Amino acid sequence: MKITMIGTGYVGLVSGACFSEMGSRVTCVDVDEKKIENLKQGILPIYEPGLEAMVVQNHAEGLLDFSTSLARAMKTSSIYFIAVGTPQGEDGSADLTYVITVAAEIGKNLDKYAVIVDKSTVPVGTADKVRATIQKELDLRGVDIGFDVVSNPEFLKEGAALNDFMKPDRIIVGADTESARKVMKRLYAPFSRNRDKVIFMSVRDAEMTKYAANSMLATKISFMNEVANICERLGVDVENVRKGIGSDARIGYSFIYPGCGYGGSCFPKDVKALIRTSAENGFEPDLLNAVERRNELQKLWLFQKIIHRLGEDLTGRSFAVWGLSFKPGTDDMREASSVVLINKLIEAGAVVRAYDPVAMAEAGRVFPHAWFDDGRLVLVDQSYEALDGVDAMVLVTEWKTFRQPDFNDMKARMAKPLIFDGRNQYDPEEVRDLGFEYFGIGR
- Work out which of 222, 265, 298, 424 binds ligand NAD, going by CB under 6 A: 265
Residue-wise burial string across 195-231, b where 16 or more C-beta atoms lie within 10 A, e elsewhere: eebbeebebbebbbbbbebbbebbbbbbbbbbbbbeb
| From candidates 31, 44, 104, 213, binder to ligand NAD by CB under 6 A | 31
Site string for ligand NAD, 213-252 (x = CB under 6 A): ----------------------------------------
User: Considering the rule CB under 6 A, would residue 120 count as an interface residue with ligand NAD?
Assistant: yes
Give Cα separations from 194 to 154, 172, 198, 297, 332 (angstroms): 20, 17, 12, 43, 33
In the complex, least distance from residue 154 CB atom to ligand NAD, rounded to whole angstroms: 4
The window from 29-37, 49-57, 165-173, 245-253 that contacts ligand NAD (CB under 6 A) reads 29-37
Is residue 126 close enough to count as binding ligand NAD by CB under 6 A? no
Q: Which residue is nearest to ligand NAD (CB)?
A: 9
- Say whether 121 counts as a known binding-site residue: yes
CB 285, CB 212: distance < 8 Å: no
Q: Are the C-beta atoms of 13 and 28 separated by less than 8 Å?
A: yes
Question: Nearest approach, Cβ of 152 to ligand NAD (angstroms)?
Answer: 11
The reply, when asked if residue 86 is annotated as ligand binding, is: yes
* Residue 88 binds to ligand NAD (criterion: CB under 6 A): no
> Closest separation between CB of residue 341 and ligand NAD, Å?
22
125 or 435, CB closer to ligand NAD? Answer: 125
**According to the binding rule CB under 6 A, does residue 266 interact with ligand NAD?**
yes
Catalytic residue list = 266
Q: What gap in Å lies between CA 161 and CA 16, rounded to an integer? A: 12
> Angle at CA 424, nearest 5°, toward 358 and 159?
30
Touching ligand NAD, residues 136-195 (CB under 6 A): 154, 156, 158
421 binds ligand NAD (CB under 6 A): no
Name 29's Cβ contacts closer than 8 Å, sequence gap at least 6.
4, 5, 6, 7, 8, 36, 66, 67, 68, 69, 70, 73
Binding-site ranges for ligand NAD (CB under 6 A): 6-12, 29-32, 35, 83-86, 98, 101-102, 120-121, 154, 156, 158, 265-266
Binding residues for substrate: 155-158, 210, 255-259, 263, 327
